[in-house]
Structure 1
Amino acid sequence: MVAFTKGHGTGNDFVIIEDVNGENDLTATQVQALCDRNFGIGADGVLRVVRSAAIDEGAASLAEEPDAEWFMDYRNADGSPAQMCGNGIRVFVHYLLRAGLATLEPGSTVPIGTRAGVRDVMRSETGYQVDLGRWHLAGGEPLARAAGLSIARPGLGLDLGNPHVVVALASDEELDSLDLNPSPLLEPAPVGGANVEFVVPGEPLVRDGIGRVRMRVHERGVGETLSCGTGAAATALAVRHWAGTRAPDQWRVEVPGGVLGVRMFAAEEGEHVGLSGPAQLVYRGEIDLA
């Protein structure tokens, strides 16, 4: 039997497996079984809590930041490894604190190793804020086709440690009519796939100096989810890009599972993007992975 904890960030839900010494490297089949909503626990992905020193991929994290004791081994629901998860890393840190595996004093940060590099997490008014690091435009402007869209729409490719394509729609009605269970088709198709966000700017776009946007997302390797943290950041960055130089650097992104905050800020090596939002642990149990 293996102990697990179920957690979520704005409805983006995860099965958390504590494996501090790296003794239980989950197979793709085991991840699929855990995430199955009919025959397993049910989740968008699995977060394995493991020390960076106990996993081969953690060596790069420790080389980048020697204090990055913990590595977030995140797997999509289909069993594939993912570089980064903005909601998942907040839930990951919340678990570390609740389990007594780490401390986080007000105003301080805790570095977490990921396949996209080390990410710093701190407390925020809504829960936790993670510095997602540098971002950049990538992948050009592919055409996106989705069930419920009458014609293909142009998207904007962005890289936040994992790939995204953000597609603007004309109205809330158009956004609500989408069927995002089947994967949207991108032309040209990016190597390795991408998360695809469909967005509608708020009306007005800016209120009290904060940009507002609504989003739905299809996550590669998962399907439609109630939220995507890096997708929310990509959405805010794309809408700011389209809006021009007078657009704000703070955004409120509404997802089906709640609201996330996005902030762009200057750093020594270039602009970073931060993501803030809640993290909750729902229940604990045991499961037979055999």
Structure 2
Amino acid sequence: MTATSTSLTGLRFGKGHGTGNDFVLVADPGGERELAPEQVARLCDRRRGLGGDGLIRAVRSKNIPEGTALLEENPGAEWFMDYYNGDGSISEMCGNGVRVFAHFLVTQGLVELGAGDELVIGTRAGVKVVARTADGYSVDMGHWGFIHPEQAPSGSDSLVETAGLAVARPALSITMGNPHTVVALADLSEMAAANLTVAPAVTPEPLHGTNVEFAVPAEPLVTDDVGRISMRVHERGVGETLSCGTGACAAAAATRFWAGDQAPDSWAVAVPGGILGVRFFPGSDGREHVELSGPAVIVAEGVFADGLSA
């Protein structure tokens, strides 16, 4: 079904977050609500709208072209996560957002998901499998990789200039289905000095832009077989956010690579909004996959008024 309407008047919405990464969520099973970029940006505006790092539309996969394509190989992916950055641009997916999306489907009565149950979700970065846990949700984020694999053995593939830091820093670009560029910093004072109200300049920049993560290893790096890092992030199309799920996976992947063969598979990533779990494991496709775990909260529900229509 092709979207035919831009009016959101009377449509119910939710507001949720995962470790402070917050989203406006709408249920549009039939794919009947067309969202213009300026409309999304207005809804995500923290003064003139509801406020959010992004907007997520829940659509049955059969009613959106990207979802229809996924159903051919993954018929269990009934729901598609139609994700937009806060500026209205379309993004591949969001690690925190997919957990909040699953929780939104549960709270809206659109799916049933008990502890230990799994839900298959379609995204522009492929199918993701979400499992409900005792204290939130875990997501098989799929395989990770280097954006520039030919340069990865050197440990860096780009330079990042950041306001507040005196010199450009080497960085490593990681794909989690969306692009990330990870910078290692020496300590928490350096991370605090980074001014992320200004977008970092990445040279060379990945084709469609990139999210930039600044990671500081704990001392010691590994405790009880768990690697520990702290992270801040500037998200493409959004700015600094309290958390980024795919960014936490990318930062853990880069740090683990830099640490060498003895680095652990389990990581705790401290972001300003809380702590995310990241685990690396062999996937059934023969490639290494990444699991992201953490909380998901719906904080409010409501109905759109006339003033928030396009």
TM range (shorter): over 0.9
Q: Is the 8 A contact 1:28 1:78 kept in 2?
A: yes
Q: Deviations over 1:255-278 (max 9, x none)?
A: 000000000001232110000000
Q: How many residues align?
A: 290
Q: Give the Cα separation in 1 of the matches to 2:115 and 2:45.
A: 37
TM-score, normalized by length of structure 2? 0.92
Q: 2:161 aligns with which of 137, 140, 145?
A: 145
| Alignment partner of 1:285 is 2:294 | no
Who is 1:184 aligned against? 200
SS for the counterpart of 2:72 is: helix
Please give the root-mean-square deviation of Cα atoms over the aligned residues, in Å. 1.0
Q: Give the Cα separation in 1 of the matches to 2:98 and 2:132.
A: 12
Q: Give the Cα separation in 1 of the matches to 2:116 and 2:17.
A: 24
Q: Give the Cα separation in 2 of the matches to 1:62 and 1:105.
A: 24
Who is 1:11 aligned against? 20
Who is 2:76 aligned against? 67
Q: How many Å apart are 1:15 and its aligned residue? A: 0.2
Who is 2:4 aligned against? none
Q: Give the Cα separation in 2 of the matches to 1:88 and 1:106.
A: 19
SS for the counterpart of 2:103 is: helix
Who is 1:217 aligned against? 233
Give the letter aligned to residue 285 of structure 1: G
Q: 1:199 aligns with which of 200, 215, 226?
A: 215
Q: Give the Cα separation in 1 of the matches to 2:187 and 2:15.
A: 35
Q: Deviations over 1:96-139 (max 9, x none)?
A: 11111112233331100000101000012430000000111113
Q: How many Å apart are 1:232 and its aligned residue? A: 0.3
Q: How many Å apart are 1:208 and its aligned residue? A: 0.6
Give the letter aligned to residue 274 of structure 1: E
| Alignment partner of 1:93 is 2:110 | no
SS for the counterpart of 1:158 is: strand
Where do 1:245-264 residues align within 5 Å? 245-264=261-280
SS for the counterpart of 1:58 is: helix
Who is 2:36 aligned against? 27
Where do 1:103-142 residues align within 5 Å? 103-139=112-148, 140=151, 141-142=157-158
Q: Is the 8 A contact 2:221 2:228 kept in 1?
A: yes
Who is 2:283 aligned against? 267
Give the letter aligned to residue 187 of structure 2: S
Gaps of 5+ in 2: 1-8, 152-156
| Alignment partner of 1:241 is 2:257 | yes
| Alignment partner of 1:165 is 2:181 | yes
Q: Give the Cα separation in 2 of the matches to 1:41 and 1:106.
A: 31
Q: How many Å apart are 1:64 and its aligned residue? A: 2.4
Q: Is the 8 A contact 1:126 1:276 kept in 2?
A: no
Q: Give the Cα separation in 2 of the matches to 1:175 and 1:126.
A: 29
SS for the counterpart of 1:57 is: helix
SS for the counterpart of 2:117 is: coil
Give the letter aligned to residue 125 of structure 2: A
Give the letter aligned to residue 163 of structure 1: P
Q: 2:89 aligns with which of 80, 97, 108?
A: 80
Q: How many Å apart are 1:70 and its aligned residue? A: 0.2
| Alignment partner of 1:154 is 2:163 | no
SS for the counterpart of 1:64 is: coil
Q: Give the Cα separation in 2 of the matches to 1:34 and 1:176.
A: 30
Q: How many Å apart are 1:286 and its aligned residue? A: 2.2
TM-score, normalized by length of structure 1? 0.98
SS for the counterpart of 1:284 is: strand
Q: Give the Cα separation in 2 of the matches to 1:119 and 1:180.
A: 30
Q: Give the Cα separation in 1 of the matches to 2:222 and 2:245.
A: 21
| Alignment partner of 1:39 is 2:42 | no
Q: How many Å apart are 1:284 and its aligned residue? A: 1.2
Q: Deviations over 1:40-84 (max 9, x none)?
A: 111000000110011111112212210100000000011111111
